[in-house]
Amino acid sequence: MRSKGFTWILTLAVLLAAGFIARLVAGDETAEEWAGGRCKGEGGFRTLLADFLWMHAHVSWERRQPEATVRALRLTVAADPRPLAFWLNGARMIAYDMPRWRLGGLDAPGQRLPDLHKRLEQQQGRRALEWLDDAARVHPDAPAVFIERANILLNCEHDLEGAAANYRRAALLPRAPFYAARLHAELLRRLGRREEALAWLAHLHPRLPRGDAAAAAGLVEARIRELETELGVPPERRYRVPEDRRRPGEGIGL
Amino acid sequence: MNPVGSWRCVVLVARATLLEVSRQRLPALLLFGAVGGILGATLLEDFNFGLPPLQFLADLGQGVIALFGSVLAVTGSAQLFFGEIEQRTVFGVLAKPVGRAEFVLGKYLAVLALLAVFSVLTTAVLVVLLRCRGMTWGPDWIELPAAERLPDGLGLVLKGVARWLECGVLSACTLLLATFSSGSLGATLLGFGMMAIGHLQSLARATPVGPDPFLIRRVVGLTLQALPDLGVFNLTGTSADSTAALFVPLARAAACAVLYAGAAGALAVFSFRRREI
């Protein structure tokens, strides 16, 4: 009997020691890292598991249950943090849908309780930004995450400064959409920083590919001219379009 | 004790066990099930909401390999260990100059060889399937963001090695549990329990806890620490910059496998030596 008890105790002690050393070797992730979406213990079924959790989040979303939706979203990105769609759509649910649910009615709530609605919008906006902070830790090179941050800062927090900074950060990343750089300039203009906007656009324009509609090089040039007129830039110091410009398909390379 | 003689005994036990395996239906059934599952993954493509189709198939295929491989590791280890005990042939084996340690290690070696064959065949099927769908042999996605990267042949092979290591750990743990159990059913069920906990450890850590979680967290944390974290062997979600960077987590996984399997194997030998057959 004593021998059996000794075997059990020895087994537990050895397994605990092995587990401790193995975690040192493998690098034990902290709870914050897990919350940030780094989860890797579900085997190759993580994708399928995350897809089903995403559907579960959608059911809670349809029932307008904020807490259940957030919980399901957290589990979804914990199961598989790779798909950007989970992060971006999750942020939109938190920022744009949940203030309306929390207000309790969908029939033009802004007309009845404008202050409360605005407060809820800001609260949910902050939660969505925290959610996107986690997304940025997982996807530091994804422009879409910073564009979504900028959109939420603009629409929920009405923070032009923060939104401009995030559009800029997105525009500086490889494979960023061209509109991120244009929106950065537009927000600088709205903030009254027209010289800065002009400098940014003048830096951007020569890097835009020819013949790519998304790059909207003509629109950028028109904006440059408007800003030059508004700022009263003398003709000799005005922006001149360079002869050689980039071909379609190449990034901005700011 | 003569180490060369001991090693020869281990190999002999392993060879006899493999001969026994070749007469069983379960390993072949699991192999066909895994191949069917890999090919059937293409039917689930409609459930993919966010990943490139090739990545989705690769993930699912590796999931099938891990699942069937784990089932083979658990059931194979339990059945092969208890097979000789239940048929009483173990007395004949142990009456010869074969020690109990050599018997356990021989069984483990046989299961490892069986799992290696399983891993090679299933990984080959997955690679061929993905190659037919346009996968490249080497990574051609280095410029892409992590969310848009596609699987490649070399990466899948490295991940297959990690899966084999995982199954090896699971097999060693099941052998340890078998030395404590009275029958193969108990050992198999305990093995599956260990497999589930090992796979879900990371998800358990990600789940939000209640308002006063200190004591619960301590108790659960200590329990989890004694069981292997099989997430270490999952390189699927590793956001490596290149396939070459997979070698680092693979080396870590190999170190963990040696540690877990070594500890479980040594304990299995110790426990089996003290056990009444």
pLDDT tens-digit readout, A173-196: 988 999 999 999 999 999 999 999
Q: How far apart are CA B74 and CA B86, in angstroms?
A: 18
pLDDT digits (tens, 9 = 90+) for A118-160: 888 899 999 999 999 999 998 998 999 999 999 999 999 999 9
Using CB atoms, pick whichever of B48, B64, B263 lies closest to residue A15: B263
Q: How far apart are CA B200 and CA A43, in angstroms?
A: 9
Check residue A43 and give its pLDDT.
47
Check residue B205 and give its pLDDT.
64
Q: What is the dihedral of CA B110, B115, B120, B125, to 10 degrees?
A: 140
Using CB atoms, pick whichever of A7, A31, A45 lies closest to residue B274: A7
Whether the pLDDT of residue A101 is over 90: the answer is: no
Given the cut 0.85, state whether the ipTM is greater than it. no
Residue B15 burial (CB count, 10 A):
14
Check residue A147 and give its pLDDT.
97
Residue of A nearest to B226 (CA): A16
N residues, chain A: 254
Q: List chain A residues with CB under 8 Å of B219.
A: none
Q: What is the mean pLDDT of residues B217-243?
A: 72
Q: How far is CA B2 from CA B9, B93, B102, B266, in A?
A: 11, 18, 12, 18
Q: What is the dihedral of CA A202, A206, A212, A213, to 10 degrees?
A: 20
Whether the pLDDT of residue B256 is over 50: the answer is: yes
- Neighbour-count burial for A126-139, b at 16+ CB within 10 Å, e otherwise: ebbbebbebbbbbb
If we measure between CA atoms, which residue out of B109, B116, B16 comes closest to residue B69?
A: B116
The reply to whether B229 touches chain A by the CB within 8 Å rule is yes
Check residue B183 and give its pLDDT.
85
**In which band, very low, low, confident or very high, does the pLDDT at A108 lie, cut at 50, 70 and 90?**
low
Q: How far apart are CA B187 and CA B179, in angstroms?
A: 8
DSSP class of B233: G
Cβ B119 vs Cβ B167: under 8 Å: yes
Q: Cβ of A78 and B143 within 8 Å?
A: no
Q: Cβ of B225 and A11 within 8 Å?
A: no
The reply to whether B198 touches chain A by the CB within 8 Å rule is yes
Check residue A38 and give its pLDDT.
45
Check residue B68 and give its pLDDT.
94
List the beta bridge partners of residue B152. B136
Q: What is the mean pLDDT of residues A231-252?
A: 73
Which comes out higher in pLDDT, residue B202 or A65? Answer: A65
Q: Cβ of A86 and B49 within 8 Å?
A: yes
pTM of the complete model: 0.74
The reply to whether B50 touches chain A by the CB within 8 Å rule is yes
% of chain A with per-residue pLDDT over 70? 84
Is the CA virtual torsion B126, B132, B137, B140 positive or negative?
negative
Q: How far apart are CA A127 and CA B194, in angstroms?
A: 37
Q: How far apart are CA B238 and CA B162, in angstroms?
A: 12
Which comes out higher in pLDDT, residue A170 or B205? Answer: A170
Which residues, 6+ apart, have CB-to-CB distance to A140 below 8 Å?
none
Whether the pLDDT of residue B239 is over 60: the answer is: no
Check residue A37 and give its pLDDT.
42
Lowest average pLDDT, out of A196-200, B208-212, B252-256, goes to B208-212
Check residue A31 and give its pLDDT.
41
The amino acid sitting at B132 is C
Q: What is the mean pLDDT of residues B243-267?
A: 87
Which comes out higher in pLDDT, residue A190 or A110? Answer: A190
Whether the pLDDT of residue A34 is over 50: the answer is: no
Check residue A66 and give its pLDDT.
92
Q: Cβ of B207 and A75 within 8 Å?
A: yes
pLDDT digits (tens, 9 = 90+) for A80-100: 888 899 999 999 999 999 998
The mean pLDDT of chain A is 85
Check residue A74 and give its pLDDT.
94
% of chain A with per-residue pLDDT over 90? 52
Using CB atoms, pick whichever of B222, B237, B263 lies closest to residue A40: B237
Check residue A117 and give its pLDDT.
80
% of chain B with per-residue pLDDT over 90? 36
> Which range has highest mean pLDDT (B43-47, B94-98, B198-202)?
B43-47
Using CB atoms, pick whichever of A40, A83, A175 lies closest to residue B202: A40
pLDDT digits (tens, 9 = 90+) for B107-163: 999 999 999 999 999 999 999 998 888 776 665 555 555 556 667 788 888 889 999
Q: What is the mean pLDDT of residues B94-115?
A: 89
Residue of A nearest to B201 (CA): A41
The amino acid sitting at A216 is A
pLDDT digits (tens, 9 = 90+) for B257-275: 999 999 999 999 998 888 7
pLDDT digits (tens, 9 = 90+) for B167-198: 999 999 999 999 988 888 999 999 999 988 88
Check residue B120 and give its pLDDT.
96
95-114 in B: which are within 8 Å (CB) of A? Answer: none
Q: What is the mean pLDDT of residues B23-48?
A: 90
Check residue B114 and give its pLDDT.
95
Using CB atoms, pick whichever of A16, A45, A82 lies closest to residue B60: A45
Whether the pLDDT of residue B247 is over 90: the answer is: no
Q: What is the mean pLDDT of residues A210-236?
A: 90
Q: List chain A residues with CB under 8 Å of B55.
A: 47, 82
Q: List chain B residues with CB under 8 Å of A7.
A: 270-271, 274
Q: List chain A residues with CB under 8 Å of B60.
A: 44-45, 47-48
Q: Cβ of A45 and B59 within 8 Å?
A: yes
Whether the pLDDT of residue A41 is over 60: the answer is: no
Check residue A30 and give its pLDDT.
41
Q: What is the mean pLDDT of residues B2-29?
A: 86
